[in-house]
């Protein structure tokens, strides 16, 4: 899932990172999911972060993604502009 964020109070890349870092760390530690800033690295007021989730069931994946979205949307100092969901399913062969 991708989250496109606006950081309205940011006036520097350092300020943007200070607003984004608690989101990245919170997603990693609270939900045990992979997360990274993937776009808008050189823009002061924009950020795109991506999360990746692997779970045993589709229901668990959706549960984690919903919780991650609520966490990001509720983060102080940022506005959630857009979210985009991508899905990858692997078929198992006799596993």
CA distances from 73 to 5, 24, 76 (A): 9, 13, 9
**pLDDT(38) > 60:** yes
**Rg (alpha carbons) of the chain, rounded to whole number:** 15
Q: What is 2-84's CATH number? A: 3.30.70.1120
pLDDT at 91: 73
pLDDT at 95: 52
pLDDT at 94: 56
pLDDT at 93: 63
Domains in the chain: boundaries: 2-84
The torsion of the CA quartet 20, 65, 36, 79, rounded to 10 degrees, works out to -30
Output the pTM of the full model: 0.85
């Amino acid at each position: 899932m991708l989250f496109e964020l606006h950081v309205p109070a940011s006036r520097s890349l350092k300020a943007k990172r200070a607003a984004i870092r608690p989101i990245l760390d919170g997603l990693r530690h609270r939900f045990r999911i992979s997360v990274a800033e993937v776009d808008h690295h050189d823009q002061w007021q924009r950020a795109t972060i991506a999360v990746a989730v692997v779970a045993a069931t589709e229901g668990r994946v959706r549960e984690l993604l919903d919780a991650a979205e609520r966490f990001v949307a509720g983060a102080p100092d940022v506005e959630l502009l857009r979210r985009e969901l991508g899905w990858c399913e692997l078929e198992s062969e006799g596993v």
